[in-house]
Amino acid sequence: MLNELKLVEAIFYYSTEGIIVCKNYSEIVMVNPRAAELFGYSSDEMIGMNIDELVPYEKREQHKQLRSNYSMNPHARPMGKNLELYGCRKDGSKFPIEVGLSPFEINDVKYVICFIIDITERKQAEEKLKEYAELLKRKNEEISYLNHVLESKVKERTKELARVVYELSQSKNELAQALEKEKALNEIKSRFVSTASHEFRTPLGTILSSVSLIQRYTKTEEQEKREKHIQRIKTAVSHLTEMLNDFLSLDKLEEGIVRYKPELINVTETLRQIIDEITPILKKGQHIVYKHLSEKLQCVVDEQILKNILFNLISNASKYSDEDKPIFIESKIDDNTLIISVKDEGYGIPEEEQFFLFTRFFRANNVNNIQGTGLGLNIVKKYLEIMNGQIEFKSKLNEGSVFTIYIPFQISEK
Ligand SMILES: Nc1ncnc2c1ncn2[C@@H]1O[C@H](COP(=O)(O)OP(=O)(O)OP(=O)(O)O)[C@@H](O)[C@H]1O
Ligand SMILES: [Mg+2]
């Protein structure tokens, strides 16, 4: 028993919690060293003090009230009941505490034993924790703000990038288009060269033949013949010049913007000129038989283009016929349409190849031994397109061919 008492005494003295025993809920009757240390008194000083004196000054009145309420209904109260309690040291300074109360009675006298823990450090830790939580919250807010800024920046940049990509693809397209155009232009240029040189051959042939004939007419009385050939050369040269002007100004036949210059012409006169110009380059013994079949003689067409078309058709009729063969030309004007046919009794075109006749560079199998480029009829077709005209043909192998052109025109009523 003695040992047990000693043990209890030891617990009381060496406890790390402050222990204070109050009589009648107010007067301090026992204080352990830890409690004295907490409040900054000596144990002796504390004996006899009112417990209220250990409460911060401003809370003492309230504490009295609490104490009297407690005395009505004394009960054990464990520590840490979410109350913000403070102790008051001898020097008046405050410190946070947790208090557990246990009431008991000895010989009808009421006592309360108070267990007191200094929670300064815990409070400080809690404060720190709060501070950190606050800091964390602020940092989170900052981060989410930065995220927001970053997101909108990313959006902005993405937009910008999309714009740049779009612009790049645009300029790529533009470049490809420019390249395409350049290619097409080159193609047109080379076609132009071949077309031009093709069309120049007939008048150049006329000039050559007339020049060689002039050379032969050495006698004075042959002046008239010389004059005739000089006139032919002049016509051929002017034809050449006109063609050259056309080719150079029209930004190419191929683009379909050949200047179409319709004028009022007398069909028979124009055809006679053409026949006269082309006759020197016909094969030996070949001759042209020309007939105009309608009363009307005048029409409105581009004379230059008409000449070019007929030069092509007549030169084919001659080239693809034997010597001494005739070439028949007929013209008429029907309901504002000029109709001209060129007929030969030549080699004809194999039926199975006729479909390709107007294709560029097409040459039929039966004429392999005759020079040609296969451009003439293709050019004729293009000329007719410019004039809204049409071409038809009939051909039979070894019998001959007939090509007929239809050129509509309008008579301007002045
Ligand atoms: N009157 C014709 N009789 C027989 N075949 C013809 C006649 N006209 C055209 N052809 C056939 O059509 C082909 C194409 O004629 P086209 O006038 O386009 O070219 P080409 O006469 O061969 O050469 P060029 O470019 O010198 O005129 C000729 O190669 C020939 O096979
Ligand atoms: Mg030809």
pLDDT in tens, 147-194: 999 999 999 999 999 999 999 999 999 999 888 877 876 776 676 677
Amino acid at residue number 351? E
pLDDT above 70 (res 1): no
Q: Hey, which of 358, 370, 377 would you mutate to test ligand 1's pocket, going by the most ligand atoms within 8 Å of its Cβ?
A: 377
Give the span between the Cα atoms of 405 and 394, in whole angstroms: 12
Ligand 2 centroid, distance to 216 Cα (angstroms)? 30
* Dihedral sign of CA atoms 296, 301, 307, 312 in order: negative
- Residue 247: pLDDT band (50, 70, 90) is low
Is the minimum distance from the CB of 400 to ligand 1 under 6 angstroms?
A: no
Is the minimum distance from the CB of 376 to ligand 1 under 6 angstroms?
A: yes
Q: Is 74 in a helix, a strand, or coil?
A: coil
Closest residue by CA, ligand 1 atom 28: 363
Q: Hey, which of 352, 363, 381, 402 would you mutate to test ligand 1's pocket, going by the most ligand atoms within 8 Å of its Cβ?
A: 363
Is the minimum distance from the CB of 389 to ligand 1 under 6 angstroms?
A: no
pLDDT in tens, 358-383: 987 788 999 988 877 787 898 899 88
Q: Which ligand is nearest to the CA of 382?
A: 1
Ligand 2 centroid, distance to 198 Cα (angstroms)? 9
Closest residue by CA, ligand 1 atom 17: 376
Residues facing residue 331 across a β-bridge? 292, 340
Are 93 and 41 contacting, i.e. CB atoms less than 8 angstroms apart? no
Give the span between the Cα atoms of 64 and 68, in whole angstroms: 6
Closest ligand 1 atom number to CA of residue 378: 18
pLDDT value of residue 183:
83
Give the span between the Cα atoms of 414 and 409, in whole angstroms: 15
Are 383 and 305 contacting, i.e. CB atoms less than 8 angstroms apart? yes
Is the minimum distance from the CB of 350 to ligand 1 under 6 angstroms?
A: no
Q: Of 343, 339, 342, 341, which is closest to residue 387 (Cα–Cα)?
A: 339
Residues facing residue 270 across a β-bridge? none
Q: For the chain, list the domains and their CATH numbers.
A: 2-118 (3.30.450.20), 260-408 (3.30.565.10)
Average pLDDT, the chain: 89
Ligand 2 centroid, distance to 214 Cα (angstroms)? 28
Strand stretches in 260-379, DSSP E? 263-266, 287-292, 298-301, 326-334, 337-344
Ligand 1 centroid, distance to 300 Cα (angstroms)? 28
Range 309-335 average pLDDT: 95
pLDDT in tens, 48-105: 999 999 999 999 999 999 889 888 888 888 766 667 899 999 999 999 999 999 999 9
Q: Of 301, 251, 311, which is closest to residue 280 (Cα–Cα)?
A: 311
pLDDT above 90 (res 245): no
pLDDT in tens, 182-212: 787 677 667 667 777 777 888 888 899 889 9
User: 382: which 2 tokens?
Assistant: 């293009």
Is the minimum distance from the CB of 325 to ligand 1 under 6 angstroms?
A: no
Task: Say what percent of the chain tops pLDDT 70.
Answer: 92
Are 247 and 192 contacting, i.e. CB atoms less than 8 angstroms apart? yes
Which residues are placed with Cβ below 5 angstroms of ligand 2, an ion? 316, 376
Q: Which ligand is nearest to the CA of 396?
A: 1
Instruction: Output 246 or 44, whichever has higher pLDDT.
Output: 44
- Residue 412: pLDDT band (50, 70, 90) is low
Amino acid at residue number 392? E
Tokens 């191929």 label which residue? 254
